[in-house]
Amino acid sequence: MYKVIYGRHDDATLQQFERCLATGSAYSGVLCADGHKGYNHPIGGVVGYTDHISLSGVGFDIGCGNMAVKLELPYSEIAPKLHKILTSIRDNIGFGVGRVNEKKVEHELFESELWNQTGVDDLKQLALKQLGTVGSGNHYVDLFEDSNGFTWIGVHFGSRGLGHKITTKYLKLAGAKDTMEDPPTLLEANSELGQSYYAGVKLGGLYAKAGREWVVEKVRQLIDPSAKVLQTVHNHHNYCWEEEHFGVKQYVVRKGATPAFPGQLGFVGGSMGDNAVILRGLDSEEAKQAMHSTVHGAGRVMGRLEAKGKFDKKTGEVKRPPRITHEDWKTWLTKVGVVVLGSDVDEAPQAYRRLDEVLEYHKPTIEVLEILTPKGVIMASKNELDPYKD
């Protein structure tokens, strides 16, 4: 068994990671520095299986990932109209649970054989309606300024209802239990069920990428249709790949972990009040031991209910006091000068680690090429609940 752990983690996260490594044909694993406990597989966890595919390792939001583009447009030119631009983005792109895109998006993926292979032709209409929407939870559209003053667009979201329903279908077929404490749910990779699910992973990945591309292009048009794209960076961080590590072919699941092979670029965000980065994977011995994987964000230090507190819906009585107040949240954002539309204290910077500290643990495996300073953030409203379990 090959494994490496970056950073510091609580006992529950470490136990969950070890449970994954002790299940099925697990051969190797990595726990990234932004890791924390997830559903049957830690967020920030990477596990390679020789003969299995982990539904728990991919998670409900198949193909969730990040995309960033650099525009040939100085941020100083749009700074005076930032709030107007953010409002326009919010009004033209769907944020929140169950949102549909008012614009019908045509895409070749709807002709793919993967729909038949996965057995989800019945989900096409839902997928058609939702393509190009962002969803809720920690999913976002951000505007950044880089060290040379250029504008960047960054987005984070996945396969929406399509991925969730694919995962739900196959978890049921696999007889999975709906708890966080059980071992990960695995399928034999070469079985009919395993191959059908793997087709669903590929479908979810294509769908997520198409959605991110549509949203980024729509945002570019809303900012300045004449602004050229100078650079594009894209990564899945909830996915399964067939790779070779330590001389053995494996089905590698990364759940909240960014692939970082030598020369591969990655876009990693911190929190709404912290810098993001463009990074590149290194060709080092440490990078090989890390299975060419790195963080996907800063990583949570408290759960959503822990941050927001718990209140009686009828009486308003405080069941559990919040650890972060709205005043604390707004003070942080004012100090760093970030304009945020939507969201709530469960996504406040205080609920996350600091990205630069997390990246320091992975220094032998990656290099940071660019630091992006957040200027505007759009997320679903505070009344939207995240339907995903990751």
pLDDT for res 390 = 44
pLDDT for res 388 = 44
Residue 334 has pLDDT above 80, yes or no: yes
Nearest to 367 by CA among 277, 255, 297, 233: 277
Q: What is the C-alpha to C-alpha distance for residues 217 and 136, in angstroms, rounded to an integer?
A: 20
Structure pTM? 0.94
| 386 belongs to a structural domain | no
CATH at residue 45: 3.90.1860.10
| 319 belongs to a structural domain | yes
pLDDT for res 304 = 86
Q: Do residues 229 and 71 touch, judged by C-beta distance below 8 A?
A: yes
Rounded to 10 deg, the angle between the 192-223 and 160-173 helix axes is: 170
| 164 belongs to a structural domain | yes
Q: What is the DSSP string of 77-88?
A: HHGGGHHHHHHH
How far, in Å, are 15, 24, 52, 181, 187 from residue 12 at the CA level? 5, 20, 24, 9, 25
Model confidence at 20, in pLDDT bands (50, 70, 90)?
Answer: very high
Residue 129 has pLDDT above 50, yes or no: yes
Residue 283 has pLDDT above 70, yes or no: yes
Per-residue pLDDT tens for 25-60?
Answer: 999 999 999 999 999 999 999 999 999 999 999 999
| 387 belongs to a structural domain | no
DSSP code of residue 382: T
| 109 belongs to a structural domain | yes
Per-residue pLDDT tens for 360-375?
Answer: 999 999 999 999 999 9
| 388 belongs to a structural domain | no
Domain boundaries, position 320: 2-378
pLDDT for res 384 = 57
Number of domains in the chain: 1
Region 178-183: mean pLDDT is 84
pLDDT for res 382 = 67
Model confidence at 380, in pLDDT bands (50, 70, 90)?
Answer: very high
| 280 belongs to a structural domain | yes
Q: What is the mean pLDDT of the chain?
A: 94
pLDDT for res 1 = 87
In this structure, the strands spanning 52-54 and 65-74 are unpaired
Q: Do residues 65 and 236 touch, judged by C-beta distance below 8 A?
A: yes
Q: Do residues 107 and 121 touch, judged by C-beta distance below 8 A?
A: no
| 219 belongs to a structural domain | yes
Q: Which residue has the tokens 């539309």?
A: 341
Q: What is the C-alpha to C-alpha distance for residues 89 and 200, in angstroms, rounded to an integer?
A: 30
Q: What is the C-alpha to C-alpha distance for residues 158 and 209, in angstroms, rounded to an integer?
A: 8
Q: Do residues 49 and 240 touch, judged by C-beta distance below 8 A?
A: no
Region 247-268: mean pLDDT is 98
DSSP E strand stretches across the chain: 2-5, 26-36, 43-49, 52-54, 65-74, 140-145, 150-157, 186-188, 229-236, 238-245, 248-255, 257-259, 265-268, 276-281, 293-295, 310-311, 318-320, 339-341, 366-378
Residue 118 has pLDDT above 90, yes or no: yes
